[in-house]
Amino acid sequence: MKVKKAVFPVAGLGIRFLPVTKAQPKEMLPLVDKPMIQYAVEEAIAAGIFEFVMVTGRDKRAIEDHFDHSFELEEMLKAKGKTDLLAEVEKISAKGDFIYIRQKKPLGLGHAVLCAKPIVCNEPFAVFLPDEIVQGPSPEIGHLLKIFEEKQCSVIALMKSPREELSRYGIIKPKGDIASGVFEIEDLVEKPSPQEAPSDLAIDGRYILTPEIFACLEQSEAGAGGELQLTDGIRKLLQKQKVYGCVLQGNRLDAGEKLGFLQANITLALEREDLKEDLKKFLKELKI
């Protein structure tokens, strides 16, 4: 079974970023000059996934427009001879098919993934939480895909997290030795207290899931925060199939909260040839 589709849960209200997200999607906030969501889409493309299922909500039309052709803009750039910009803009809509389905109620990440069931049907699929950017020489989801191809089981990206931050994440309990970085998962729990956390391995925003997850989510009840949690669905999946964890290889930027968003912008800008020297100079001049 090959993974062809990637699901992006993008229906959230962006509460952490208010007021900027009052009338625009959080996923369209810029990291340097690209909206946040484009990084995750490019990661999927780099790993050979070209069908994108966006689970959206109200006020998310800008995402749809961003990944579509913009005839007037492209004609204008052509007429003005701005070929570099034209290529950049055309690239966004050139690859892949974008499919949109609405999450009608904000019932949680598990519910958002379940909303993709009529499109994904009986295939394995990837899930990207697009607040998280993972930098590295090769696409992070590609590492998970390799493990999936070998094991034909669900695979979750994991990261080591400081104890005081464990309650922000889903935390797994590994089975056996974790030294190789790829191991079976014995159990997992969403947002445990640091005392209850079964390890310091937190679920990151990249998953490969088998389609059996849908039935498991349908059977799950609301969990942490009163929401249907993807973690709880995967916990049920463990009763039927093995699930593997894979320690993140790249550098994770969490652009889903304000400080992380600013850090992600600076980190990404410092990697850009056209910006890095001037930005470094500016940061040095701050003398803080």
Q: Return the closest-CA partner of residue 52 out of 63, 41, 42.
A: 41
Looking at the Cβ atoms of 3 and 203, the one nearer to ligand G1P is 203
Distance, CA of 212 to CA of 242 (rounded, Å): 12
Which of 14, 170, 174, 233 is close enough to bind ligand G1P by CB under 6 A? Answer: 170
Which of 43, 140, 190, 232 is close enough to bind ligand G1P by CB under 6 A? Answer: 190
Q: Report the nearest approach of ligand G1P to the CB of residue 48 (Å).
A: 24
CB pairs under 8 A, 24+ apart, for 87-94? 92/38, 92/66, 92/67, 93/67, 93/68, 93/69
* Stretch in the footprint of ligand G1P (CB under 6 A) among 20-28, 143-151, 192-200, 229-237: 229-237
12 backbone dihedrals φ, ψ, rounded to 5°: -60, 155
Task: State how far the alpha carbon of 114 is from the alpha carbons of 55, 101, 123, 131, 211, in Å.
Answer: 10, 11, 13, 19, 10
Which of 230, 246, 264, 269 is close enough to bind ligand G1P by CB under 6 A? Answer: 230
* Stretch in the footprint of ligand G1P (CB under 6 A) among 29-37, 50-58, 114-122, 201-209: 201-209
Decide: is 203 part of the binding site for ligand G1P (CB under 6 A). yes
Decide: is 38 part of the binding site for ligand G1P (CB under 6 A). no
HSE at residue 150, side-chain half, CA atoms within 13 A, is 10
Decide: is 157 part of the binding site for ligand G1P (CB under 6 A). no
Count of residues of this chain found to bind ligand G1P when the rule CB under 6 A is applied: 13
Q: Are the C-beta atoms of residues 184 and 174 closer than 8 Å to each other?
A: yes
Q: Which of residues 104-143 bind ligand G1P (CB under 6 A)?
A: 109, 129, 132
Decide: is 169 part of the binding site for ligand G1P (CB under 6 A). yes
Q: Return the closest-CA partner of residue 7 out of 104, 172, 121, 107.
A: 121
Residues that bind ligand G1P (CB under 6 A): 109, 129, 132, 169-170, 190, 202-205, 229-231
